[in-house]
Amino acid sequence: MQNNPIENDSVYRSLNEICLRKYELDSEISKAENKISVLWDGLFHKPKANITQTQRMSNIVNNGIGMLDGLILGWKLYRRFTGGNCSISSNWLNFFLRK
C-alpha cells in the first residue's frame, strides 16, 4: 500500500500563485462536498415512489388500524395494572373494559 503524503514543499513565488492554489483547493472541496451530499442522500433518504391512490388509501387504513390496536392495548394494560374501576359505563366501551 502506498501512502501519498501532502505536498508541504510547495513554494509560492507570488500572490497570484497563492490565489490559483486557493481556487484549485476550493474546487476540489466543492466536488468532494457534492459527492458526500449525494452519498448521504442515497444512504438516508428513500427515493420517492409513485404510489397509486389505492396504495395510499391502503397505507392510511393500515396505519389507522395499527394506531387503534395500540390504543386498545394501552387501555387494556392500563386497566390491568391499575386495577381500579373506570367511571365510563357506556355500552360501546364494554369491549375495551373486559379483562
pLDDT, tens digit (0-9, with 9 covering 90-100), for 46-78: 777 788 999 999 999 999 999 999 999 999 998
Domains held by the chain: number: 2
Same domain, 23 and 57: no
- Based on the fold, state whether residues 71 and 89 are members of the same structural domain: yes
Full residue range of the structural domain in which residue 29 is found = 11-48
Q: H helices within 1-99, ranges in order?
A: 15-44, 53-82, 94-97
What is the mean pLDDT of the segment spanning 12-35?
94
d(CA 10, CA 22): 13
User: Given this model, what pLDDT does residue 66 score?
Assistant: 96
Do residues 70 and 50 make contact, with C-beta atoms less than 8 angstroms apart?
A: no
Q: Which of 56, 98, 51, 47 lies closest to 64 in space, CA to CA?
A: 56
**Statement to judge: residues 60 and 80 lie in one domain:** yes
Residues 33 and 75 in one domain: no
